[in-house]
Amino acid sequence: MSLSSDPIGPIDDARERRRLPLIGLVLTAAYLAGLVLYLVIQGQNPADLPLNELGDFLGGVASPLAFLWLVLGYFQQGREIRLSSKALQLQAKEMRASRGAADPPSAPGDKSG
């Protein structure tokens, strides 16, 4: 996950960026498949529920998924902040290096430097 000029860095960064959404999609699909399997085994049809119970059912089903994606988003944001911080550090290093190269060496008799 480094921002250096090595050829492996950008590839690993792209792979790292795709990992959390992929994990989220796999867990979401597994959760929904388990939910459907549970409903089929129980012989229940949520469409047969009264509207107030259907709303409770949908809220109960959706809340674990919302929490999962909230946590994954938190980790993704933390990773992006770390990458941004590394980029700013590298930029500051480059600016210091370019400033040092732009300063002319002082003359032997010059008292200003």
Going residue by residue through the chain, which has 113 residues, state the pLDDT in tens, using 9 for 90 and above: 444 444 445 666 677 778 889 999 999 999 999 999 999 998 888 889 999 999 999 999 999 999 999 999 999 898 889 889 999 999 999 998 888 776 666 656 666 54
The one-letter amino acid code at 10 reads P
Q: End-to-end distance of the chain based on CA atoms, in angstroms?
A: 41
pLDDT at 34: 95
CA distance 110 to 113: 7
Q: pTM for the complete prediction?
A: 0.63
Residue 66 is given by DSSP the state: H
Among 69, 68, 60, smallest CA distance to 35 is for: 60
